[in-house]
């Protein structure tokens, strides 16, 4: 599995204030989308999320998002080495995504940049 990078996941109360801070910090513009009632902004290596506490409680359990070349290949690699895929791969605005539980109890999202469809 080719790991291309990591995104740090941050749940925030005020998405607009957080976006302004991280855009200034990274000198890059936010890419925004909504999913399941959660507003999300990707700014550099940071993924900012804001929404209902019931949704954020679940999202906080995911340690980080790992960019991979191919989510299907990641699924095969993860299960081969003893991880349990909890969800996916499914298409998201950012690419195909899956959630995996590692044997040590860590939960990670793996996402590729495959186009929709």
| The pair of three-digit structure tokens given for residue 21, joined into one six-digit string | 């801070």
Indicate the CATH number of 3-111 among 3.10.180.10, 3.60.20.10, 3.40.50.300, 3.40.630.30: 3.10.180.10
Please report, for the chain, the start and end positions of each structural domain, with discontinuous segments joined by +.
Answer: 3-111
Q: How far is CA 21 from CA 15, 26, 51, 77, 90, in A?
A: 10, 9, 18, 37, 31
pLDDT digits (tens, 9 = 90+) for 18-59: 999 999 999 999 999 887 789 999 999 999 999 999 889 888
- pLDDT tens per residue, range 74-88: 999 999 999 999 998
How much is the pTM? 0.80
Residue 68 β-bridge partners: 3
Distance CA 10, CA 46 (A): 7
């Amino acid at each position: 599995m080719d790991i291309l990078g990591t995104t740090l996941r941050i749940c925030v109360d005020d998405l607009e204030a957080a976006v302004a801070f991280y855009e200034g910090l990274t000198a890059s513009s936010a890419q925004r989308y909504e999913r399941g009632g959660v507003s999300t902004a990707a700014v550099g290596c940071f993924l900012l999320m804001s929404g209902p506490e019931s949704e954020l409680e679940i999202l906080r359990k995911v340690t980080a998002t790992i960019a991979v070349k191919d989510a299907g290949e990641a699924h095969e690699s993860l299960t081969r080495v003893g991880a349990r895929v909890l969800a996916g791969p499914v298409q998201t605005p950012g690419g195909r995504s899956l959630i995996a539980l590692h044997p040590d109890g860590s939960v990670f999202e793996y996402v590729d940049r495959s186009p929709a469809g």
